[in-house]
Amino acid sequence: MNTHNLIFVKGQGTSKIQKALKVNIIPAQTPLPENKMYFPHISAKNAWDTEVCIINTSSFQTLTGNLLAYNDAGVQLSSTPISLTANARRQFTVGSDFTSATSIGYMILESSSTDVCGYMKFYIAGSYRGAIPATMDVNSSDAYIPHIASNVTWSTGLSLLNTTDSDKTLTIQFSNGTTKTVTLAAYQHDAFSIKSLFSGTSQPNIKSGVISNASGIVGLELFISNSGIGQYYLNGLLLKDDTTVDLYFPHIANFNTWWTGIVAYNPSSSTATLTITPYQEDGTALTVQTMEIQGNDKYIGNAEQLNCPSNAAWFHIASTQALSGFELFGTNNHQQLGGYTCVNISVTSGVFPKIEKSGWTGIALVNIQSSSASVTLNAMKDDGTQVATTSLSLDPHEKSVGSAQELFTTDISEATYISFSSTNPIVGFQLNGSTDNMLLDALPGM
């Protein structure tokens, strides 16, 4: 079995499905309400499954709504009522919790509140696992593909959802100058590999891309190791129109066991000058270096290649041009991979949405400001009750890192997630690993 065919199979257009099934395909019947959170890709067949999580981040208001499941053509398959009291959390396994699981292409939470977050976690038990945040943000301009790996080792897949009631024709401009078009009917979802756009031929010369006419589109990209090469890496990113002049990379992994992958992508036509400032764990600034990235180009490498000092715990990139970028952590034995975007991830409150019950959860918090920060952490149960609370004091640019349990002085074994608040903007992320250290996923603080 090709384990990649679930995520990277190009979908059929609506007209082909109509002919095959001899039925009238009717897209979503009514306009979606104002508050929508998108899970733009669901995989629950051919050995794959998807974990879906929803958290009510309000500390006083109940969240009510419906989790709607759709097939790739935009036909609603089911509606699951959702009612979450303040700070409550709900988790689904699509393959076992939905009768139409194998037909589900995407989901939308329609709710009474914007105080909500969630994630999708794709996996094959014992082989692959990767997590991506759900999103309430629909692109309003060009969407960026900051990294594409299409070669003998890697495949890159795109998953695109048209949230509008009109057909959309998207143009993908790749870094090597080639262009491809993708047409999506109203409310249609399509998932495909980069190489499928080129008659099934890998494209090692393509490194990035820009999706034009992406207003109304929500999507993601997934990187996965090719079958049969003895590697089991999987990770993904939302495809966003966001860029920033400040990228924060809140962790540098141990070089002996891990590699830390870094991408900083300049989608503009002008040269970007980058100022890279690494910091020790206690917040002490280390030697600053500068580099340039030409227009429509990127820096890709690892922390060692970036010449970060051995005692560097995290680093900040300040750029003269707005960038997109992300960070990856992979084990040198090719078994684990996790990562997250580094664009606009600084927050003063949020959640780390899952404490791993069959393995471990690591959490890092970085104070990105030049003044001290007081951070409050709350270990929470699914029903919204608090198990434990603790406070951290972070000096300017200081980092705190450890297991979820190590952050607290009392037992948090009954907790399922952690909420946090800070007096300063901070950046943070979580890594979840399996007991056998074969599976890994990462999420930024949301």
Contact 239, 255 (CB under 8 A): no
Residue 335 in this model has a pLDDT that exceeds 50 = yes
Residue 271 in this model has a pLDDT that exceeds 60 = yes
Mean pLDDT of the chain: 90
Let me know if domain 242-344 sits in CATH 2.60.120.10: no
pLDDT on residue 328: 84
Residue 23 in this model has a pLDDT that exceeds 60 = no
pLDDT on residue 255: 61
Give the confidence band of 30 by pLDDT, cuts at 50, 70, 90: very low
Q: How many other C-beta atoms are found inside a 10 Å radius of the C-beta of residue 297?
A: 17
Residue 413 in this model has a pLDDT that exceeds 60 = yes
pLDDT on residue 307: 78
Residue 378 in this model has a pLDDT that exceeds 70 = yes
State which fold the 347-446 domain adopts. Hypothetical Protein Tm1070; Chain: A (2.60.290)
Contact 52, 84 (CB under 8 A): no
Class of domain 14-133 (CATH, top level) = mainly beta
pLDDT in tens, 56-75: 999 999 999 999 999 999 99
Mean predicted confidence (pLDDT) in 107-125: 96
Phi-psi region of 181 (alpha: psi -120 to 50; beta: other; left: phi over 0): beta
pLDDT in tens, 79-107: 999 999 999 999 999 999 999 999 999 99
User: Which token pair is 367?
Assistant: 């104070």
pLDDT in tens, 192-243: 999 999 999 999 999 999 999 999 999 999 999 998 888 888 889 999 999 9
Identify the weakest region by mean pLDDT among 77-81, 229-233, 291-295, 381-385. 229-233
Q: With CA atoms as reference, report the closest residue to 137 among 320, 339, 341.
A: 341
Assigned CATH for 143-238? 2.60.290
Residue ranges, comma separated, of all CATH 2.60.290.11 domains in the chain are 14-133, 242-344, 347-446
DSSP string, 160-217: EEE-SSS-EEEEEEETTS-EEEEEE-TT-EEEEETGGGGTT---TT---EEEES-TTE
